[in-house]
Amino acid sequence: MKSAKKSTAISTKPLPPATVPLSPRQVALRKLYRVLTISGIIVGTLAVIWGVTFGSDWLLHPQRNRWSLPKDFEFREPVLNPTTPPGAAPEGMVWVRGGEFYMGVDWQTFPGKGMNDIDDAARIHLVYVDGFWMDKHEVTNTQFAKFVEQTGFVTEAERTPKPSQFRDAAPERLKPFSILFRKPGPFEQIDLRDPYSWWQEEYGASWKHPEGPGSSIKGRENHPVVHVCFTDAVAYCRWAGKRLPTEAEWEFAARGGLNRKIYPWGDELKDNGKWMCNAWQGKFPSENTREDGFEGIAPVGVFQPNGYGLYDMAGNVWEWCADWYHDEYYEEIAEANPLKAVRNPQGPEFSFDPNERELHKRVQRGGSFLCAENYCTRYVAGTRGKGEVTSAANHIGFRCVK
């Protein structure tokens, strides 16, 4: 006590802070803390560099990974089969020579506008198909009427649905129906993510009554038949001694001998300002300017045919194909065959649509009169569509091959 007093009296300087020696555990913890801080800074910096270099692209274009081609992938000129048909053309059919082609949508030439949800058309891959005969145009009402007359066939849309098909439906709602497009009024607020804004169930709509019970096919004899589901189309093909095209055959045919073009006629949507297919102009679904001359379905064969002499391979009505629909089929088949052409692919073994997993769907191709630049754009040659096998609508038809 005495010496402390003395010391205070002598020194005017502040006392140095008392230093408490650290325990070995505390020393180790401090070291660990420093190491973790420095590593954190390094990892964080690297993550930022990686993010700026690659991540921004992935964030802006989340689809691109699925679309990107292998590093050693090189496009080459596809080899086509000889043009000579094996014999005289069956009535109403043309010879599609077959050979190689690039199937799917090419990211680099992808027009990008209005192309909602086309991941399923990735990735582009080389395919070979044998030659085949194909109907020049979509099957018409006249042709379908002949089939019905000879066979007494009743389409799915004309049959009373079974309770098992629509489990939640009230019994009074189980009446024959099909799906009709209804153009919303100009002042209706439409969310393009909600297709029910323009599709409605119409009792009594069928191939014979394409716009509903009050309508008929009179005056529409040369229009493509609509309100036919996949199984109806298959029944017609069997009767005609034909079959539905595979998806690969359909796309080979649609391309009309052109290599990697966006549309069946080339890379420009319009030819000197003229529409090359029956699609939708204006803002879908409320405004249709009919620039191509048709608000709805056009008679078959009005627009210019493609290089194989096939009409309406883009637009007018969707066309059923034989393949099951699977959204990852292209990716898988391209992955399995990176360098050689896939020969006569028949589609996946089962159907899978991630948006409606419980439904069994087949492929549809070509888009319809409802395809528009601001929405569907399925007149792009490599794009795909799909439909539940017993469902029909007023924009879905088909054509046959043999």
Where do contacts with Ca ion occur on this chain (CB under 5 A)? 278, 292, 294, 312, 316, 366, 369
Residue 208 C-beta: closest distance to Ca ion, Å:
21
- Residues 68, 116, 381, 62: what is their CA dihedral angle, to the nearest 10 degrees? 0
Omega before 123 within 30 of 0, i.e. cis: yes
Phi/psi at 206 (5° precision): -160, -175
Nearest-approach distance from CB 87 to Ca ion, in angstroms: 27
Tokens of 193: 């993510």
How near is the Cβ of 293 to Ca ion at its closest, in Å? Answer: 7
Neighbouring CB atoms inside 10 A of 71's CB total: 5
Minimum CB distance to Ca ion, residue 73 (Å): 31
Residue closest to 292 by CA, chosen among 274, 305, 271: 274
Q: What sections of 152-242 are H helices per DSSP? A: 230-239
**CA torsion, ordered 341, 344, 350, 356, to nearest 10 deg:** 70
CB closer to Ca ion out of 131 and 366: 366
Closer by beta carbon to Ca ion, 147 or else 250? 250
Closest to Ca ion by CB, 78 or 366: 366
Find the shortest distance in angstroms from Cβ 306 to Ca ion.
Answer: 11
Closest CB to Ca ion among 66 and 243? 243
Q: Supply the minimum distance, in Å, between the C-beta of residue 316 and Ca ion.
A: 4
Q: How far is the CB of 296 from Ca ion (least distance, A)?
A: 7
- 81/128 Cα distance (integer angstroms): 10
How far apart CA 86 and CA 65 sit, in angstroms, is 43
Sheet containing strand 125-129, strands side by side: 99-103, 125-129, 342-343
Whole-number Å distance between alpha carbons of 72 and 304:
38
Residue 266 near residue 258, CB atoms below 8 Å: yes
Rounded to whole angstroms, the Cα distance separating 247 from 250 reads 5
The least CB distance from residue 367 to Ca ion, in Å, is: 7
Nearest to Ca ion of 126, 310 (CB atom): 310
Given the complex with Ca ion, which of 278 and 394 has the nearer CB atom? 278
For Ca ion, which is the closer residue by CB, 178 or 306?
A: 306
256 dihedral zone (left: phi>0; alpha: psi -120 to 50; beta): left
Beta carbon nearer to Ca ion, 103 or 276: 276
